[in-house]
Amino acid sequence: MPAFGFRSWAEISRAKLAENFRRVSAVVGDGVEIVGVVKADAYGHGAVEVSRVLTGAGARWLAVSSAEEGITLREAGIDARILVMSDRATAVYRELVHYRLTPVVHSLSDLRELSSLAAGSGAPLSYHLKIDTGMGRLGTRADAAQIAAAVKEAANLRLEGLMTHFASSADYTNKQTERQVRAFNRIAAGLKKAGICPQFMHMSSTNPVAYGRREALQNMIRVGHALYGYVSPARGEAPERVLHVEPVLSWKASVISTKEVPEHAHIGYGGMFRTHRPTRIAILGVGYADGLSHRLSNRGHVIAAGKLVPILGAVSMDLTTIDVTDCPSIQPGDTVTLLGSEGDVSINAQQMARMAGTISYDILCGIRARVKRVYV
């Protein structure tokens, strides 16, 4: 238990984060710029500290979702280029300029509007243009000729990057990714013919990098999940993974109280669990208000004294009960592990996600602000 006595906290390893960045670099090689994706508070790892580590490891680019997230980094003194991936550039134009943030533009009408906002501003604002090659979310679906005309018309802006995003890049049961790559290359070739050659071309997030889709790397990649130590499992006949990373975050909780209850005792809200033997329980200072999914009620596990033990009954707002009958050493004040490892027993966010019926991204982003982040 740490000296500060938190009920629940997340330990984030700077060394592992930097190592994951280096492993991504080693896989993609020189000539591919790595954008460290630190949106959503760096997937719950703390955007400012993560950005410091990544820039220290050599990252020259970071990506966030909103101008507001970019401003937080600038105000903390982060000097790297910052790509704002999912905001409305026209709505935050002043902030983009003032904080030197680089917007992704999602449509040709936004491009025209942004260019008129930038009229008379002196230095042109650099932007990356997103193409919807089949994701069916953000990005323009215009053809190369229409894009070329709009880019040339937007004379107060500078097209620095052309990008797209894959819908199913770990899915080897269909050809959606290949189709998206072809659609992107077709647009890029059309723009080139029109004399438009953006400095950066990027389409890949973690999965295409991890499964070695070389044709999708272009000269820039945007990786988040891998930096935090995860790669989504592939579907279908995937090639062997070329990237190996390790989870950066461990999630801990302290034991508030322990006690013995008899056989047939109800545990927690709704009496959702009933003991089938005299049971020693431990009550943890963590609940769904900390991000421990209510769906782990009667299903999830934690690691106590190096053993995997079950969650008993309902996860409640601030408390969770576990079975420590087989861990006699566990006492109030001890620490258990929700995510991470003790000895050779471990639980990662993908395993927790499977139990909770969600995905690892959701588990990591779901760890709430009141869970203190401790950097080790």
* Residues engaged in binding ligand PLP (CB under 6 A): 37, 39, 85, 165, 205-206, 222-226
152 has catalytic annotation: no
Nearer to ligand PLP, 243 or 311 (CB): 243
Nearer to ligand PLP, 261 or 359 (CB): 359
Nearer to ligand PLP, 206 or 320 (CB): 206
Residue 231's identity, in one-letter code, is V
- Min separation Cβ 283 and ligand PLP, Å: 35
- Min separation Cβ 34 and ligand PLP, Å: 11
Nearest CA-CA partner of 154 in 96, 125, 111, 187: 111
Question: Is there a contact between 367 and 45 (Cβ–Cβ < 8 Å)?
Answer: no
- Min separation Cβ 202 and ligand PLP, Å: 8
- Min separation Cβ 185 and ligand PLP, Å: 18
- Min separation Cβ 276 and ligand PLP, Å: 42
H helix or E strand, kind and range, residue 297: none
- Residue whose token pair is 């272009």: 218
- Min separation Cβ 50 and ligand PLP, Å: 13
Report which residue's Cβ sits closest to ligand PLP: 224
Nearer to ligand PLP, 205 or 297 (CB): 205
Selecting among 192, 193, 259, 269, the annotated active-site residue is: 269
Nearer to ligand PLP, 85 or 154 (CB): 85
Rounded (5°) CA angle 132-134-140:
15
SS3 category, 270? helix
In this structure, what are the phi and psi dihedrals at residue 102, rounded to the nearest 5 degrees? -110, 115
Selecting among 39, 93, 130, 228, the annotated active-site residue is: 39
Nearer to ligand PLP, 85 or 157 (CB): 85
CA distance 151 to 214: 28
> Around 187, how many Cα atoms within 13 Å sit in the side-chain half-sphere?
29
Token pair in block for residue 122:
């002196």
Nearest CA-CA partner of 247 in 73, 10, 47: 10
Question: Is there a contact between 127 and 156 (Cβ–Cβ < 8 Å)?
Answer: no
Nearer to ligand PLP, 55 or 169 (CB): 169
Question: Is there a contact between 351 and 340 (Cβ–Cβ < 8 Å)?
Answer: no
User: How many angstroms separate the Cα of 345 from the Cα of each of 7, 231, 281, 301?
Assistant: 22, 20, 20, 11
Question: Is there a contact between 339 and 292 (Cβ–Cβ < 8 Å)?
Answer: no
- Min separation Cβ 35 and ligand PLP, Å: 8
39 has catalytic annotation: yes
Token pair in block for residue 296:
């782990």
CA distance 51 to 61: 10
Q: DSSP labels for 102-156?
A: EEEE--HHHHHHHHHHTTT-SSPEEEEEEB-SS--SSSB---HHHHHHHHHH-TT
Which residues are catalytic, by number?
39, 269
